[in-house]
Amino acid sequence: MADNSVTESIKGDRSMTQGFVAQYAAEAALHIEGVAYLVPSFAVSLKESAGVVHEGKGVRVVFNDNDEGYVSITIYPVVFYGMIIPEVAWSIQERVKADVERFTGLDVNTVDVHVCGVVERPSVSDN
């Protein structure tokens, strides 16, 4: 019986920290030059339409059950036109891995970047 309660509390802690990990990853990705914004997943869009606030939009966090303390992160950015996409993706991977490991103490196993689109930079008016 004691083993089940320990397992349940670990799973509970993991689901609670997924939002925090996603938030750190999203903030790190948004600080990369060339990233316009992150695209929320379909599931996040449904949750938000139901009134549920979701932290870390545009980020998916998966804890590896076999390796304790390892996490895989997927980022869904939209990049500004004219940027070199592989360089932006590499910068996102490095920054997200470093920030999440520094602030959470978890080991980031992978950071996958799926560029969802390219947009023009907003023009700056002289008004």
Give the CATH number of the domain where residue 50 resides. Answer: 3.30.70.1350
Query: Rounded to two decimals, what is the model's pTM?
Result: 0.76
Our count of domains for the chain comes to 1
Are 95 and 32 within 8 A, CB to CB? yes
Does 124 fall in a domain? Answer: no
Domain that includes residue 42, residue range = 2-119
Are 114 and 74 within 8 A, CB to CB? yes
pLDDT per position as a tens digit, 23-34: 999 999 999 999
Please tell me the distance from the alpha carbon of residue 123 to that of residue 100, in angstroms, as a whole number: 33
Does 125 fall in a domain? Answer: no
Q: Which of the 8 DSSP states describes residue 86?
A: H
- 9, two tokens: 């509390």
The top-scoring range by mean pLDDT among 50-54, 68-72, 85-89, 104-108 is 85-89
Number of Cβ within 10 Å of residue 40's Cβ equals 18
